[in-house]
Amino acid sequence: SSDLRERILKIQEQQIPSHVAIIMDGNGRWAKKRALPRIAGHHEGMKVVRKITKLANELGLKTLTLYAFSTENWKRPKMEVDFLMKLPEEFLGTFLPELVEENVQVRMIGDMEMLPAHTRNAISKAMADTLGNDGLILNFALNYGSRAEIIEGIKLVLNDCKSGIMNENELNEDIFSSYLMTRELSDPDLLIRTSGEIRLSNFMLWQLAYTEFWFTNVLWPDFGEEHLVEAIEVFQNRQRRFGGV
């Protein structure tokens, strides 16, 4: 709509958050409200990913991180997990040419080893095909858990100390950040969580130290361009002090 276009132009006049992270929540509830199976909600949510990625790219975001599957999500019913593991293939199968075209780079954080081969292959292909792009980084957090990531980082640090690559007295926050899965990304400026849940669910605990949070009751399949715009408007109206005055 013309109203939305105006709002988009207005937010582009101010500083756009460089890295936005989204906990995409509420697909199951969306489906339940419509008496549909949960997987129908996940399928609908996939369409929203496409729409939001396009807008993020258009707005000039550097990174969009989407929490797609947590290490805890394996506890869900097998049919649902199997369906979720097919979504990256389907999404990338239809959407990859467009991502390549729009100069988007696909990345992933999380434990890839645990993913089924077909899911891994789809993501690896997307990463390889978009490697030359230098636009928006579309970063999927898949089989991701923040505490596991931090523990893994600590093990890597200990190894480097043992083998003399690093002196433990030199370890600081910046150096530790370089041992995490997000080493090549800036920390998120803005975190969005949909569907009315107000918690972090083991997502980017280290990286979100100074991030602005924005929560909405909107279920992920209902999340539209206007909601991303609203979140950025709120972000732009907050003063970020990073612990200062």
Which residues are catalytically annotated?
Answer: 25, 73
- Tokens describing residue 230: 């609203």
Q: Are β-strands 19-23 and 63-70 bridged in parallel, bridged antiparallel, or unpaired?
A: parallel
The number of angstroms, rounded, from the C-alpha of 203 to the middle of its chain's C-alpha atoms is: 9
Quote the CA–CA distance of 245 and 69 in Å, as a whole number: 37
The torsion angles phi and psi of 72, rounded to 5 degrees, stand at -85, -20
Measured CA distances, 53 to 22, 90, 130, 183 (Å): 11, 16, 15, 22
| DSSP for 101-169, written as a single string | HTT-EEEEES-STTS-HHHHHHHHHHHHHTTT--S-EEEEEEEE-HHHHHHHHHHHHHHHHHTTSS-GG
Quote the CA–CA distance of 79 and 4 in Å, as a whole number: 39
Which residue type occupies 134?
A: D
